[in-house]
Amino acid sequence: MSVVREQIDRWTDNLGKSPLRLVPHDRKPSVAHAVVCGAIGGIVGASCMTVMRTIAQRMGLIEKTVPQVMEEWASERLDLEPPGGATGHHVTDQLLHFGYGMIWGALYGAVAGIRSTPLWVGGLFGLAQWAIGFFGFIPVLQVHRPAHKATTAENLINMGAHLVYGLTTALLTDELTQQTERGPQPDSLRHAMRVG
């Protein structure tokens, strides 16, 4: 039972600390571990972006999300329609977005995940990703107009979504890279833990 008590004491020591303040790593994770954790953070961050953009779409602030126009652009260029009608389009645009988010997250993990990085760095990372995409990739590929020709609402939605992406990616990458001792635990320890 003392092992259970030690584990609980270690976790309760962190009570009262800001959940958004990243804590220093006890040990440096491997690059491979940090890359995978960053990729997971990137997928979750992309999911958060989808929620934000869907709310904006429901409010009538935008007609389509960026993943939707990317999927339509790719379908047109490849002259290839996803199977399944509207369902196939939804699956394809989300898979493209999660893949893109995962790749950027893996890059974040490779650079920032191997050290304790302040959360605001993740926010800057998200905004930098927005700038690269909306001043670079999107206009160069002729997917849509560049950010400087977009409406204020479009830019605020996209910047906000990328800020949330970057913060989410940073938070998850940092948290998961610290969880290096994951694995099965006895019932007595699991049952004594707070789980949410």
Q: What is the pLDDT of residues 141-160, one digit of tens each?
A: 999 999 999 999 999 999 99
Residue 167 domain-assigned (yes or no) = yes
Q: Kindly write down the DSSP assignment for every residue of 99-132, as one continuous string.
A: HHHHHHHHHHHHHHTTS---HHHHHHHHHHHHHH
Judge contact between 43 and 106, C-beta under 8 A: no
The confidence band for 25, taking pLDDT boundaries of 50, 70 and 90, is low
What does the pLDDT look like over 67-110, one tens digit per residue?
999 999 999 999 998 888 899 999 999 999 999 999 999 999 99
Residue 26 domain-assigned (yes or no) = no
Residue 25 domain-assigned (yes or no) = no
Residue 11 domain-assigned (yes or no) = no
Residue 191 domain-assigned (yes or no) = no
- Which of 4-8, 33-37, 55-59, 99-103 has the weakest average pLDDT? 4-8
- Asked whether residue 14 carries a pLDDT value surpassing 60, the answer given is no
The confidence band for 15, taking pLDDT boundaries of 50, 70 and 90, is very low
The confidence band for 172, taking pLDDT boundaries of 50, 70 and 90, is very high
Q: Say how far apart CA 9 and CA 11 lie, in whole Å.
A: 5
- Which of 70-79, 132-141, 177-186 has the weakest average pLDDT? 177-186
**Mean pLDDT across the chain:** 87
Distance (Å) of CA 165 to CA 57, 85, 108: 18, 29, 12
Judge contact between 34 and 114, C-beta under 8 A: yes
Residue 18 domain-assigned (yes or no) = no
The confidence band for 27, taking pLDDT boundaries of 50, 70 and 90, is low
Question: Could you tell me the residue range of the domain that residue 83 belongs to?
Answer: 31-179
Q: How many domains are there within the chain?
A: 1
